[in-house]
Amino acid sequence: MAERTVAGRTPTGGSTFGHATTGHVTTGYAMTSDTTVGDTTAAHATADGATTSHATTGHRTADGTATGRATTDHATTGRTPTGRTTPGATPTSAAPTLRTTGPMTARRAVFPGRRVFSGHAPPAAGLLRGLLRTTRPRQWIKNTLVVAAPAAAGELFTSRALVQLPLVFVLFTACAAAVYLVNDARDADADRAHPVKRHRPVASGQVPVTVAYGVGGALAVLAPSAAAWLCSPYTAALLTAYLGLQLAYCVSLKHVLVVDLAVVTTGFLMRAMIGGIALGIPLSRWFLITTGFGALFMVAAKRYSEAVQLADRAGATRALLAEYTAGYLRFVWQLAAGVAVLGYCLWALEEGGVPTTGVLPWRQLSMVAFVLAVLRYAVFADRGTAGEPEDVVLRDRSLTVIGLVWLTMYGLAVADW
């Protein structure tokens, strides 16, 4: 350890384990060094009385040796920090408080008045992530149905559609997010007892219940208001109706047999309708029948899959689902699939009666791809593995290919190619 005397003052040096500490003293001031474990600590006194000390926070390596990361404590000009001596004053201990949490844990140097950063993300960032998770980003794919009516009418790529449809998608997503937030806030206590839902942000405490209610309420007010200003009054009215229906579902309708299926199905139908309403496109009866019963097919298949998978797990399923029988749910999705196929075929044949200049009757040919897609999806419904419709559509390659073929054929029919 090296020492140096200036103007008759003698520094007092502190030792470290494994490294030497060097003290430096200026005219009229003495200093004492800090003690750390496994790293060098240096203290410097300046001529104007401002002292800068460096302590370390300990980190344990693989062999158990504590190593340090430097942190800095700065005293203001003209003041003497704790642990420094001045002429005529009684010196105090310069060593920082070493706080130990359990055996063989790293030590951390803590100076009075200093906040120690724990290394965790700020609470605000965690809250924002929790709110985003509560809005179910994976479910946003359902809102792409807003393009259904314009696509069916051949007006998907008009200038107005390119402006309005992204806006409608965002507004509908905001409304759906509001419903999810309010639903999770209401069901927080019940979700905490659920083996899977207890990990939801609101149930786990990541998002406070009051915050979920507040953000959900704000979105429920802002989205229809923005629709009335940026789109049309009819678009705002449909969004308001959707919010009212879905909030009623959260409060009571989800506990009513059959009505719960109808409400969820209506939500999908509204998604398919709103694009046409925003653009002023007339909606044909066949379009409404096909999309409505197609949605009922997927909703009933989802309920059937949940009933099959969770039948033997006590407390793992909703009370209403236990009141449905597997046979009844199977009957519903089979009936809905049949009506959806019939409606699409009649729609394609009716439209096909109009003279076209296309190379092939693409609209009639698209019936084959549509029927194959329904039958393919029914395979997963029958197995009880259609609990997550978006996963079935995106993960099954055969179904994805069939869907793309159908889209291509229908697109060619609309383009009259």
pTM: 0.67
Q: Of 119, 136, 162, at which residue does a domain stop?
A: 119
**Cβ(301)–Cβ(381) under 8 Å?**
yes
Residue 263 has pLDDT above 80, yes or no: yes
Residue 99 has pLDDT above 90, yes or no: no
* 275 vs 270: CA distance, rounded Å: 9
Structural domains counted in the chain: 3
Check whether residue 262 and residue 141 sit in a common domain. yes
**388 or 91: which carries more pLDDT confidence?**
388
Nearest to 218 by CA among 267, 186, 174: 174
Check whether residue 96 and residue 223 sit in a common domain. no
Nearest to 97 by CA among 79, 113, 76: 113
* 401 vs 302: CA distance, rounded Å: 22
Element (H, E) at 67: strand 66-74
Main-chain dihedrals φ then ψ at residue 9, nearest 5 degrees:
-100, 140
Residues in the chain: 417
* 81 vs 53: CA distance, rounded Å: 9
Amino acid in position 153: A
Residue 320, both tokens: 């209403």
**Cβ(217)–Cβ(170) under 8 Å?**
no
Element (H, E) at 408: helix 397-415
**Cβ(304)–Cβ(333) under 8 Å?**
yes
Q: With bands split at pLDDT 50, 70 and 90, how would you rate the model's confidence at 146?
A: very high
pLDDT of residue 259: 95
Check whether residue 5 and residue 127 sit in a common domain. no
Check whether residue 114 and residue 151 sit in a common domain. no
**315 or 312: which carries more pLDDT confidence?**
312
* 179 vs 175: CA distance, rounded Å: 6
Check whether residue 303 and residue 394 sit in a common domain. yes
Q: With bands split at pLDDT 50, 70 and 90, how would you rate the model's confidence at 33?
A: very low
Check whether residue 409 and residue 365 sit in a common domain. yes
Check whether residue 270 and residue 390 sit in a common domain. no
Amino acid in position 137: P
Q: Of 237, 260, 276, at which residue does a domain stop?
A: 276
Residue 49 has pLDDT above 80, yes or no: no
Check whether residue 266 and residue 299 sit in a common domain. no
Residue 182 has pLDDT above 70, yes or no: yes
Q: What is the mean pLDDT of the chain?
A: 76
Domain membership of residue 333 as a residue range? 284-417
Check whether residue 255 and residue 331 sit in a common domain. no
CA angle, 154 then 156 then 157, to 5°? 110
Residue 415, both tokens: 């383009």
Residue 134, both tokens: 């509560």
pLDDT of residue 190: 86
Q: Of 119, 144, 171, at which residue does a domain stop?
A: 119
Element (H, E) at 397: helix 397-415
Check whether residue 264 and residue 383 sit in a common domain. no
Check whether residue 139 and residue 233 sit in a common domain. yes
pLDDT of residue 351: 59
Kindly report the CATH number assigned to the domain that includes residue 166. 1.10.357.140
Check whether residue 332 and residue 383 sit in a common domain. yes
Can you tell me the mean pLDDT for 320-337?
90
pLDDT of residue 43: 40
pLDDT of residue 272: 95
C-alpha distances out from residue 164 to 67, 157, 238, 328, 411, Å: 59, 11, 15, 41, 20
pLDDT of residue 38: 39
Q: With bands split at pLDDT 50, 70 and 90, how would you rate the model's confidence at 246?
A: very high
Residue 208, both tokens: 């406070």
